[in-house]
Structure 1
Amino acid sequence: MSLYVTLMRQAQSCAALGSPFMAQMLPILARVWPVGSALDRAVAGFEGDIGPNGHSLPLRLASGLHALVLTGQDAGLAAVYPPNAASDDRLAAALTGALERHAAFLLDWITSAPQTNEVRRSAVLIAGTHALVHRTGVAQVHLSELGASGGLNLMFDRFALMAGDTRLGPEDAALTLMPDWTGPAPVAAPFVVTDRRGVDLNPLDPHKPDEALRLRAYLWADQAHRVALTDAAIKASCAIVDRGDAVNWLERRLADAPKARIHLIFHTVAWQYFPSDRQARGTALIEAAGARATPDTPVAWLRMEADGAARGASVTARLWPGNIHITLGRADFHGRWVDWSGDPD
């Protein structure tokens, strides 16, 4: 698929996810793209899918341009970025200039894959964990996140969730999530996180300015509320994210099984990027750990992942002992809405 087509399709996705600016900017970027340039040759060098299920090149490019604005490197581009409004012609001129002036910066920037750390996905982690704790009666939680990026969602127990009239979370929450909630209210089952750790091929440290810049730049410039939530989560973050292959890491993590704890393994819109052989190996490892689980040391696998449906991601869990399959609901990929099924006992 060509970069032009991929940019146009990404624009449609961004419009559906509530970003009019991205819906305007990406088609213009496709129109002014510097064909034959070093940047064009670098993009052409990516093999395989360059869209959202592969290299996500439109989002790599968009985040690089946003980084130029956030760091004050391109005043002309900043003048046409939110909160400012600009005509297509002004935006085209600014993008053309930025692509010429900052080609070296963008060449370096696009070597790293997008890592949004969408904090609003924690809404289903909060509700799902309460449901699993309610079911098991084990309130001490040992967290393991696969594809954790900067680890912001590993802090979900420090966040509050407003689900209709129901509030879950600590009184002194670092931030409050308020998705458009449909379905039953989530069950309340207080829990304590005793250990939290994640893994990522390229973890970002949110307390390092250059890496925090990446977390912010991957957000869309006209969605200031996402930036505010991310900043609040960064301030509260103390999670450790290890660098490495998620499945190899998980094998070591499962070998050190916690005592009198529920081991909660989770991921949000990450599993789809694992090669099929790693998915198979990871599933086998979790199932083997589940076979060893006891009522005092249950194992839970909580997932928010694309499943091919037209609307949002599925939210499901598996729980051992018993290998219980639980359908919890669906959620918007950016956490704007949650359609909750609950946890029928």
Structure 2
Amino acid sequence: MLEDAFLDQARSNRALGSPFTARVLTLTAARLAPGNPVVDRMRGWQGDIGNRGASLPLRFLGGLHALVLTGDCPELAACYPPNPRPDDATLAAAIETAMARHPETLMRWLDLPPQTNEVRRAAVMIAAAHWLASRFGLSRFVASELGASAGLNLMWDRFRLDLACGIFGPRTSGVRLDPEWRGPCLSEAEIEVIDRRGVDIAPLDPHDPGDALRLTSYLWPDQPWRIERTRAAIEIAEAPVDRSDAGSWLTRRLATAQPGAIHLVSHTVAWQYFSDDTCNTCLDAFEEAGRRATRDAPLARLSMEGDARKGEGAPIELTVWPGGRTHKLGRVDFHGRWVDWKPPADPHRNTLHKPMATRTTT
């Protein structure tokens, strides 16, 4: 039910520290009567419309924010941060105005899934890279990302990770990550990314004004630091992102190893959106490339995907070849606000033998 999807997303947003967007979603849930073209389209949507499927509430929320960022709906902009908090009646009226006067914009935002490129997730990529560098004694990396959107997080080696125990990455970086860090500090390592590339079914160009608007529109207006951090990441973005199915792309990407370099393939809150065929093709590509991996040219798959433990962030899992064993490295907040880092005490000792993901069948 559409109303239930909006209310469920409101609960998630509130838990993720965005009370304003939770209010917007809750007020919208009570105003989804048929008759408006935007509402009618959402009501006629086929398949899962919640946050494990099409994420219609987040698409709609992004469309509203786009109207604010462009100034196209001044009534709505007046209700959004940093303006004073409006009462529910005023905010609800502004939402109704946006739906009545700007259905074309909202429909365009319904066309594509949210692509936030949440930059703070890169803290996990940095941590995994340091763990791998320590394990293999290698400093050079090939970086790949599945579901890379605009490729901002492929620049992880150029971000500054500030922890109480030390600073990792370039101190002069304009992109500063400062998650609440729980657990041991990272191993010191020199990191050099010699090749970076991503794939997305609908990639965004961070230097295109329209695509940059789409990226920032999915960030929540009562969390301006996320918008500032994303804009800083856009300034240094230069990783190419190919428009392709992730499965076929990964097969090609892993076909050639780079001796003396670790190939780190990441996916963060992306796997759930892949088709069964795509997931299985990716698994085949990992297995085939894993058989060819050596200690001089290792392969690693970093996963940050949701599981059954709702409200507790996502597990951090790293499968390493040669060997193909999966290490549980802790958990992370979906927006990277905190990292509960729990790597194996001895990086040369593999303690987990189950595969990270199983095959799916239709």
Q: TM-score, normalized by length of structure 2?
A: 0.93
> In 2, Cα distance between the equivalents of 1:99 and 1:37?
7
> In 2, Cα distance between the equivalents of 1:305 and 1:107?
28
Partner of 2:326: 325
Provide the secondary structure at the position in 2 that maps to 1:93. Answer: helix
Partner of 1:138: 138
**Are 2:306 and 1:306 equivalent residues in the alignment?**
yes
> In 2, Cα distance between the equivalents of 1:45 and 1:140?
50
Partner of 2:340: 339
Partner of 2:268: 268
Shift of 1:180: 0.8
1:289-329 CA-partner distances (Å, limit 9, x unpaired) = 11111111111111111122231100010111122321111
Partner of 2:354: none
**Are 2:219 and 1:219 equivalent residues in the alignment?**
yes
Unaligned stretches of 5+ residues in structure 1: none
Provide the secondary structure at the position in 2 that maps to 1:32. Answer: coil
1:181-232 CA-partner distances (Å, limit 9, x unpaired) = 1111122221100000000000000000000000000001110000010000
Q: Percent of pairs identical after alignment?
A: 50
Q: TM-score, normalized by length of structure 1?
A: 0.97
Structure 1 counterpart of 2:166, one-letter code: T
Shift of 1:34: 4.6
> Is 186-195 or 8-17 further displaced after alignment?
186-195
Partner of 1:285: 285
Shift of 1:40: 2.0
Structure 2 counterpart of 1:194, one-letter code: I
> In 2, Cα distance between the equivalents of 1:155 and 1:182?
24
Structure 2 counterpart of 1:151, one-letter code: G
> In 2, Cα distance between the equivalents of 1:325 and 1:55?
29
**Are 2:130 and 1:117 equivalent residues in the alignment?**
no
Provide the secondary structure at the position in 1 that maps to 2:92. Answer: helix
> In 2, Cα distance between the equivalents of 1:188 and 1:308?
33
Contact 1:163 1:186 in 2 (8 A): no
> In 1, Cα distance between the equivalents of 2:245 and 2:75?
41
Partner of 2:196: 196
> In 1, Cα distance between the equivalents of 2:192 and 2:144?
14
> Is 286-295 or 244-253 further displaced after alignment?
286-295
Q: Superposition pairs for residues 94-243 of structure 1, below 5 Å?
A: 94-243=94-243
Contact 1:50 1:56 in 2 (8 A): yes
> In 2, Cα distance between the equivalents of 1:291 and 1:212?
40
Partner of 2:317: 316
Partner of 2:37: 38
Contact 1:301 1:318 in 2 (8 A): yes
Structure 2 counterpart of 1:331, one-letter code: V
> In 2, Cα distance between the equivalents of 1:108 and 1:216?
15
Unaligned stretches of 5+ residues in structure 2: 347-362
Structure 2 counterpart of 1:23, one-letter code: A
Provide the secondary structure at the position in 2 that maps to 1:257. Answer: coil
Contact 1:185 1:342 in 2 (8 A): no
**Are 2:99 and 1:90 equivalent residues in the alignment?**
no
Partner of 2:351: none
Partner of 2:73: 74
> In 2, Cα distance between the equivalents of 1:163 and 1:308?
29
Shift of 1:233: 0.3
> In 1, Cα distance between the equivalents of 2:58 and 2:326?
34
Partner of 2:46: 47
Q: How big is the alpha-carbon RMSD for the aligned residues of Structure 1 and Structure 2?
A: 1.1
Contact 1:305 1:313 in 2 (8 A): yes
Q: Superposition pairs for residues 238-257 of structure 1, below 5 Å?
A: 238-257=238-257
1:46-66 CA-partner distances (Å, limit 9, x unpaired) = 211000011000000000000
> In 1, Cα distance between the equivalents of 2:169 and 2:343?
17
What is the count of residue pairs matched by the alignment? Answer: 344
1:37-96 CA-partner distances (Å, limit 9, x unpaired) = 222221123211000011000000000000000001011100001112100000011111
Provide the secondary structure at the position in 1 that maps to 2:111. Answer: coil
Partner of 1:13: 12
> In 1, Cα distance between the equivalents of 2:92 and 2:53?
27
1:1-26 CA-partner distances (Å, limit 9, x unpaired) = x1111101100000000001011111
Partner of 2:25: 26
Provide the secondary structure at the position in 1 that maps to 2:30. Answer: helix
Provide the secondary structure at the position in 2 that maps to 1:306. Answer: coil
> Is 302-311 or 11-20 further displaced after alignment?
302-311
